A and B are shown apart, each in its own frame.
Chain A
């Protein structure tokens, strides 16, 4: 039984009525066949994941809603959502889910599907490019960061060539170059 007081009226933030004909019934199975997706349908919509999440407070679509949308088959909306990319991959939600739903891993699956369909936000592609070109995302500056700690200017043994080479052959490489 769900508690419905008179107090609240209809939720005012979330989505318009769901158009059943736009639902992709295969989406749930698709996610379930991907790594760590099997437990998806065990979700009982408790929202623990969302209250555990350190950042979802400012999201329009919250983690528990994303999971529900996947189960419903709202493929387009989920794969084009910015939230799957805003996820910090901190695994709080997954750790705390009482039903063993691997929430973070499922968001990884979603990102992979989105990537296959070229639905990656530009900011993420830019990060990929940075990684591909420099072999690292966060470049430690010699002048103050290391100096202040009395460390020699260069990170000893740092080699980014292998990373660049390997990445070039992966989907990240292809995506950055505009392919699939």
Chain B
């Protein structure tokens, strides 16, 4: 048996499984479609159950022997000998050949050469194209040459060719010739003995669900968008502001906005109850009134304290599922039957925040189709020997669940390739 493993997706699960396998001596190629690693964790700021920064969870061998954590920006992802990171790279095809897989990869250009750039960031300073920063709800600007988040690995900037004017100022300022505005796509094929899908989930856009005024009113947000506002590194330094820039006084949250709904996403997205509570507590700390409309609260044991803290900090809980949000005088009003008091409530608030379903990334790409169930999730062990999956690619989950599954899959892959079985 060979020892080469391809891990697709460098979210927390993909990073975890890659470190583990590399530490165990296998040869790992970690393939990530975005310019930097981290997946959802790059958007989250503080996370339950520990209230730590989501980026502070990088896990290589040192983590376990040295009793400390390290931020993703100091991660060994780029330096570990047995681990090659391929960012801006997607899987084009997976061919089964004997007991190996021939995996064809395509890398789109970063226009900044990773083997040269010393991350002085002069290029960003000199660029004068400014566009809305999509990661921050378009509320702040970024340059055409930019870094999605400062801690993103690889640390080198990336050039967004859709907005770059090719003025070449960055090329001129770069003292190490690290910028190549004419860089081309690259393809390569790797023979692997196992493939691990760690392609994760994303929050689905609520505009597919009628009724909640998302897209009609700028103050109807998703939890991920609220998370950006509350992140101290976010567009308003952690302050909750309305789209017009006013300090938010009240927020209404709608749980299961599209999950557990036969007309939208059938399954429970599992993490949203708890991150909604997390956000509610953070808002209360800013003195913002919070109302949570829920059917039932599905909080895992490790995070019960978030429910208790939300209660103690006077979050209002309304047991009932809103059917619609109407916009009155520019502000969203949530219509819900409070099943405890038997009253129909019309809750006016500055923001309405929807717990949108978490849907699998893998379903977006045809190459993974044959490994996926009807929802687009992969089985931890595919029927085809040698194909594995972990993290939220196997089903919506929180970080502890995703990382635990990554650890267990790492051992299984190791056993299959090296266990002598």
Contacts and interface: CB of A to CB of B under 8 A. Distances in A.
B341 A51 contact: no
Nearest to A52: B323
Contacts of B295: 44-46
Interface string B309-320: 001000001011
B344 A51 contact: yes
Given A1-B297, A96-B211, A98-B262, A47 B320 contact: yes
Interface residues of A, number: 27
Interface in A1-41: 1-3, 5, 8, 11-14
A1 B320 contact: no
B317 A3 contact: yes
A62 B339 CA distance: 10
Nearest to A60: B342
B340 A8 contact: yes
Nearest to B320: A47
29 contacts: A1-B297, A1-B299, A2-B296, A3-B296, A11-B340, A12-B341, A44-B260, A44-B295, A45-B295, A46-B295, A46-B320, A46-B321, A47-B336, A50-B337, A51-B321, A51-B322, A51-B323, A51-B336, A51-B344, A56-B344, A62-B337, A62-B342, A64-B337, A92-B323, A96-B263, A98-B261, A98-B264, A98-B321, A99-B262
Across chains A and B, which 7 residue pairs bring their CB atoms closest together, nearest first?
A: A98-B261, A52-B323, A51-B323, A50-B337, A13-B342, A46-B321, A3-B317
A121 interface: no
B397 to A, nearest CB: 19
Contact of B339 (A45, A52, A92): A45
Interface residues of B, number: 29
Interface of B: 211, 256, 260-264, 294-299, 311, 317, 319-324, 335-337, 339-342, 344
B295, B296, B323, B336 — most chain A CB neighbours (10 Å): B323
A65 to B, nearest CB: 8
Contact of A98 (B260, B294, B296, B336): B260
Given A12-B341, A98-B321, A99-B262, 16 more contacts: A1-B298, A11-B340, A11-B341, A11-B342, A46-B256, A48-B321, A51-B321, A51-B322, A51-B323, A51-B335, A51-B337, A51-B344, A52-B323, A62-B342, A96-B323, A98-B262
Contacts of B299: 1
A57 interface: yes
A49 B340 CA distance: 16
Contacts of B336: 47, 51
Contacts of B260: 44, 98
Interface string A63-104: 010000000000000000000000000001000101110000
A96 B256 CA distance: 13
B344 A3 contact: no
B324 A51 contact: yes
B122 to A, nearest CB: 53
Nearest to B266: A98
Given A1-B296, A96-B323, A47 B337 contact: yes
A145 to B, nearest CB: 33
A14 B342 contact: yes
A155 B211 CA distance: 39
Contacts of A49: 323
Contacts of B339: 45, 47, 50, 64
Nearest to B211: A96
B412 to A, nearest CB: 33
Nearest to A8: B340
A13 B340 CA distance: 10
Contacts of A8: 340-341
A106 B71 CA distance: 56
A51, A52, A62, A96 — most chain B CB neighbours (10 Å): A51
Contacts of A64: 337, 339
A81 to B, nearest CB: 15
Contacts of B322: 48, 51
B262 to A, nearest CB: 5
Contacts of A51: 320-324, 335-337, 344
A10 B311 CA distance: 19
Contacts of B261: 98
